[in-house]
Amino acid sequence: MDAWIADAAARIAARAPEEVALLVGVSSPSGDVEGAEQVLALTTKLAPAEALVERAPCSTADHAEDLILRMQGSGSRRVVLLGHVDTVVAHGEHRPLKREGERLLGSGTVDMKAGVVLSLGVLRELAARAESFAEIALLLVCDEEWRAGPFVHAERYAGFDACLCFESGELTPAGEEAVVVKRKAAGTLRVLAHGRSAHSGAAPERGANALLALARAAQSVAERHDPAGAQHLTAVPTVVRCGDAFNVVPAAGELLCDLRADSERAFDEVVASLPRHVDGVRLESALLRCWPGMDSRAVTAAVLEQAAARLGRTVVAAHRGGASDASYLAAEIGLVIDGLGPLGGEAHAPDEYIVEASLRTRAEVALALVDAVLAG
């Protein structure tokens, strides 16, 4: 292993458990401005003194401003490191960090406060190597978990040489280091039903049953499910809300469906296939959110080989179905690599955790990749 990578990863890992505990100790669900501000204040303190601190409007209204830490150097290449500080865990369910065997458990550990800690560590290590880059930016956003609209930062980083995102890491079934270079597009489809109420016992024929119409719509979505097809589309009805009383024909309701595919264009076909009227009920369909996919396999192959040579072990290209902000930047930056965070699991669940030892091994992977990227 390259000596700088080994030494720098050891320094990052030595500090990381305490820093993860600091960030996880603050409950910061999406939309909670106070929690986000507390976490961003801590990350700013952990940043190198050379970093310029900037706040920028968040992509989602009523959220705390996002944080950008920038360093200027004398080299030629520009790289943006990417992460988010918001979680999906409500304040009442938040759990601070605790050690349990080889694991560090806590809300937002793997998704993705431990990844933020690794990105800060990489930023600190690069501060002493200003000759290797023209600009390094760390962008930390406050709305990744619940964003519905476009990502406002994409244009700012157009033309950068690479984006490295610190969502959770993974290993191959054979135990090799893996990073994410391909992600599916993700969409949330909402169907609203506008029917007519009536007494379900005395005069059901006078009503227009929103529940039955939504059931028809759900079946229509499910029929488009084709994970083995050309677009690897998954179309899954997930939530239905309808009806107010057991003896009333429901007049209105809502259906939510989760859509994933190689390209967001596949979602248009799902929407187009939905009926607009079912037995007197009007159906209104729209995508609440639509995250683009990313596919950096071709342009990252050489970089992964170079990183592996520096690391002394293989780095494998992997794909993942979950959405990430890296997908937005992939439209503007050719070389995008995700999944640089530590190993862990149970994201969004009470037993969310990271594997403590992976803080060092994944720091090594991240450092090897950023070194390869900056070397061009």
Q: What is the pLDDT of residue 339?
A: 97
Taking the C-alpha atoms of residue 364 and residue 10, their distance in angstroms, rounded to an integer, is 9
Q: What is the pLDDT of residue 334?
A: 86
If pLDDT is split at 50, 70 and 90, which confidence band does 219 have? very high
For the chain, the farthest-separated pair of C-alpha atoms sits apart, in whole angstroms, at 81
**pLDDT per residue as tens digits for the range 118-138:** 999 999 999 999 999 999 999
Among residues 316, 293, 339, 304, the alpha carbon closest in space to that of 119 is found at: 339
Assess contact for 107 and 87: CB atoms under 8 A: yes
> Which residues, including other chains, have CB under 8 Å from residue 249's CB and lie 6 or more apart?
195, 196, 197, 198, 199, 200, 204, 206, 207, 208, 209
Residue 90 clears pLDDT 90, i.e. is over it: yes
pTM: 0.90
Q: What is the mean pLDDT of the chain?
A: 96
**Mean pLDDT across 278-306:** 94
Q: What is the pLDDT of residue 98?
A: 97
Assess contact for 9 and 311: CB atoms under 8 A: no
Q: Cite the residue boundaries of each domain of the chain with CATH code 3.40.630.10.
A: 3-184+293-375
Q: What is the pLDDT of residue 321?
A: 83
**177, amino acid identity:** E
The answer regarding whether domain 192-290 maps to CATH 3.30.70.360 reads yes
Q: What is the pLDDT of residue 376?
A: 86
Assess contact for 257 and 289: CB atoms under 8 A: no
Q: What is the pLDDT of residue 161?
A: 97
Domain at 3-184+293-375: CATH code: 3.40.630.10
Assess contact for 253 and 211: CB atoms under 8 A: yes
Residue 87 clears pLDDT 90, i.e. is over it: yes
Taking the C-alpha atoms of residue 295 and residue 68, their distance in angstroms, rounded to an integer, is 25
Q: Under DSSP, is residue 350 helix (H, G, I), strand (E, B) or coil?
A: coil
Residue 346 clears pLDDT 90, i.e. is over it: yes
If pLDDT is split at 50, 70 and 90, which confidence band does 329 have? very high
Tell me whether the omega of the peptide bond preceding residue 112 falls within 30 degrees of 0, making it cis. Answer: yes
**pLDDT per residue as tens digits for the range 36-83:** 999 999 999 999 999 999 999 999 999 999 999 999 999 999 999 999
Q: Cite the residue boundaries of each domain of the chain with CATH code 3.30.70.360.
A: 192-290
**pLDDT per residue as tens digits for the range 157-211:** 999 999 999 999 999 999 999 999 999 999 999 999 999 999 999 999 999 999 9
Taking the C-alpha atoms of residue 147 and residue 324, their distance in angstroms, rounded to an integer, is 11
Taking the C-alpha atoms of residue 350 and residue 89, their distance in angstroms, rounded to an integer, is 8
